[in-house]
C-alpha cells in the first residue's frame, strides 16, 4: 500500500496524517501554528516535527509528503510567495523540507488540497466542475474544472477570500480593505461577537456569561455552540456570516459556473445555521436567477482533515508520475 503523509498548515494549527490510497487517515499528529511574527524557520521546525513523529510511528514506508499551505504557492509548487497569516515571503519551503526530511515533497495551497480530497473522496464525488470554500481564520478557495485543480498561470488562483466586497471596509491582514474574508470567516464571526460582549449588549447576555465578560475568551466554536443551543443572537451572527458567504458564492457562480460549492473549514461546523442563509443569499444574488441551473451548496464531508487528505493524495500522484 502506497502511504503518504499530508500536512495541513492553517492559521492556528499544523495537522498531519498518514493517508492510504482510499483516503483513510491511519495516524495523526498535530501542533500549534507558530505566531506570524516568528521566523519562517520556526514554522519549518514545526512541520518537520509532526512529519518525523508520523514517519517514526509507521511500520510501512512513506512514498511522499504533501504540504497544504495557507498562502500563495508559486507555479513551481516549491515556493510560498506570500501568506497573510504566517511569516512566509518567497519562502523556498519544498527545498528546505526536502533537505531535512529526505522524502519527496509536494506543496500546494491548502484549499486546493481540500478541493481535491472532497472531489475524490468526499462531498462532491462525481462532479467535474466544483469549487471549495474553506472558512477558518480566513477564507481559502479551490477550483476544480474538467476534473483538474486549476491553479492559474502564477499558481495562486482561488484566493477568493481577498476579493473586495466592501470598498473601504474592514482592514484585512493582507493589507487591503473590504476583503470577503473580513465578512464571511471565523475571524469575522468572532470580531462581531466580541464587539457585542465588549459593549455589554443585552442581546449578548448568554455569550457574556459564557466568557465571564472577557471578550478575549470568545471563540468561533463557542459562538457556534451557543447558536446550536438556540441563542438568538448567536444564530443571528451566524446568519450574517452565512449571508455574506452566499453573496460571495453568487459572484463566483457568475464567473465560473460550477455544479457545486463545497463549504469546509472550522466555521462549517455550524451546519445549516450557516448554509441555509448562504443558500438564501445565493439565490437572491445569483445572476439570471430563475432562468439557469443552480449550483448545489453542500458541507464538506471530510471535515478538518480534507486538507491533509488532499495534500497526501496529490503528493502520491506526483511521485507516481
CATH of the domain at 19: 3.30.420.40
Residue 12 has a pLDDT of 73
169 pLDDT band, cuts 50/70/90, is very high
- Whether 79 maps to a domain, the answer reads yes
Cβ distance 147 to 128 under 8 Å?
yes
The count of other CB atoms within 10 Å of the CB of residue 38 is 14
- Whether 294 maps to a domain, the answer reads yes
Residue 252 pLDDT exceeds 70:
yes
- Whether 312 maps to a domain, the answer reads yes
Residue 10 pLDDT exceeds 80:
no
- Whether 122 maps to a domain, the answer reads no
Task: Mark whether 144 and 210 lie in a shared domain.
Answer: yes
Task: Mark whether 134 and 272 lie in a shared domain.
Answer: yes
Task: Mark whether 22 and 100 lie in a shared domain.
Answer: yes
Express each pLDDT in 95-125 by its tens digit. 999 989 989 999 999 899 999 999 999 999 9
Question: 263 has which bridge partners?
Answer: 133, 299
Q: DSSP secondary-structure letter at 313?
A: H
Q: Show the domain range for 184.
A: 127-300
d(CA 34, CA 194): 24
Residue 314 pLDDT exceeds 90:
yes
Task: Mark whether 11 and 65 lie in a shared domain.
Answer: yes
Give the global pTM.
0.89
* Rounded (10°) angle between helices 220-228 and 272-285: 90
Task: Mark whether 202 and 68 lie in a shared domain.
Answer: no
The burial class, CB within 10 Å (0-12 / 13-18 / 19+), for 117 is: buried
Return the closest-CA partner of residue 252 out of 261, 239, 242.
261
What is the rounded radius of gyration, in angstroms, for the C-alpha atoms of the chain? Answer: 19
Task: Mark whether 309 and 291 lie in a shared domain.
Answer: no
Task: Mark whether 38 and 136 lie in a shared domain.
Answer: no
User: Who wins on pLDDT, 127 or 58?
Assistant: 127
- Whether 58 maps to a domain, the answer reads yes
Q: Which residue has the cell 452566499?
A: 246
pLDDT > 90 fraction of the chain, expressed in percent and rounded:
82
Mean pLDDT across the chain: 93
Residue 206 pLDDT exceeds 90:
yes
Task: Mark whether 78 and 131 lie in a shared domain.
Answer: no
H/E stretch holding 135:
strand 130-135
Task: Mark whether 87 and 166 lie in a shared domain.
Answer: no
d(CA 278, CA 185): 13
Which three-class secondary structure state does DSSP give residue 289? coil
Q: What is the mean pLDDT of residues 156-165?
A: 93
d(CA 153, CA 74): 9
Return the closest-CA partner of residue 119 out of 303, 308, 300.
300
Task: Mark whether 147 and 296 lie in a shared domain.
Answer: yes
The burial class, CB within 10 Å (0-12 / 13-18 / 19+), for 285 is: middle
Cβ distance 26 to 309 under 8 Å?
no
- Whether 42 maps to a domain, the answer reads yes
The domain total for the chain is: 2
Task: Mark whether 98 and 160 lie in a shared domain.
Answer: no
Task: Mark whether 90 and 222 lie in a shared domain.
Answer: no
Question: 109 has which bridge partners?
Answer: 69
- Whether 121 maps to a domain, the answer reads no
- Whether 185 maps to a domain, the answer reads yes
Residue 173 has a pLDDT of 83
Residue 281 pLDDT exceeds 90:
yes
H/E stretch holding 3:
strand 3-9
Amino acid at each position: 500500500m502506497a502511504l503518504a503523509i499530508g500536512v495541513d498548515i492553517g492559521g492556528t494549527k499544523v495537522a498531519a496524517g498518514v493517508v492510504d490510497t482510499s483516503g483513510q487517515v491511519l495516524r495523526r499528529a498535530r501542533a500549534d501554528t507558530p505566531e506570524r511574527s516568528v521566523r519562517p524557520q520556526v514554522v519549518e521546525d514545526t512541520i518537520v516535527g509532526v512529519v518525523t513523529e508520523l514517519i517514526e510511528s509507521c511500520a510501512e514506508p512513506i512514498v511522499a509528503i504533501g504540504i497544504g499551505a495557507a498562502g500563495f504557492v508559486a507555479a513551481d509548487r516549491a515556493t510560498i510567495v506570500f501568506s497573510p497569516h504566517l511569516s512566509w515571503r518567497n519562502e523556498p519551503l519544498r527545498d528546505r523540507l526536502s533537505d531535512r526530511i529526505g522524502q519527496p515533497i509536494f506543496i500546494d495551497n491548502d484549499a486546493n488540497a481540500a478541493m481535491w480530497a472532497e472531489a475524490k473522496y468526499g462531498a462532491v464525488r462525481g462532479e467535474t466542475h466544483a469549487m471549495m470554500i474553506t472558512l477558518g481564520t480566513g477564507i481559502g478557495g479551490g477550483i476544480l474544472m474538467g476534473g483538474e485543480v486549476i491553479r492559474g498561470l502564477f499558481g495562486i488562483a482561488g484566493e477568493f477570500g481577498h476579493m473586495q466586497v466592501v470598498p473601504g471596509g474592514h482592514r484585512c491582514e493582507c493589507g487591503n480593505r473590504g476583503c470577503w474574508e473580513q465578512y464571511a470567516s471565523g475571524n469575522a464571526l468572532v470580531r462581531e461577537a466580541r464587539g457585542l460582549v465588549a459593549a455589554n449588549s443585552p442581546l449578548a447576555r448568554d455569550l457574556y456569561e459564557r466568557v465571564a465578560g472577557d471578550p478575549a475568551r470568545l471563540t468561533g466554536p463557542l459562538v457556534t455552540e451557543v447558536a446550536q443551543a438556540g441563542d438568538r443572537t448567536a444564530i443571528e451572527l451566524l446568519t450574517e456570516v452565512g449571508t455574506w458567504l452566499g453573496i460571495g458564492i453568487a459572484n463566483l457562480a457568475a464567473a465560473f459556473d460550477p455544479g457545486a460549492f463545497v463549504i469546509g473549514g472550522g466555521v462549517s461546523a455550524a451546519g445549516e445555521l450557516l448554509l441555509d442563509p448562504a443558500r438564501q443569499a445565493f439565490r437572491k444574488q445569483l445572476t439570471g436567477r430563475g432562468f439557469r441551473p443552480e449550483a448545489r451548496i453542500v458541507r464538506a464531508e471530510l471535515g478538518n482533515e480534507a486538507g491533509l487528505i488532499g495534500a497526501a493524495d496529490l503528493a502520491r500522484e506526483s511521485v507516481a508520475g
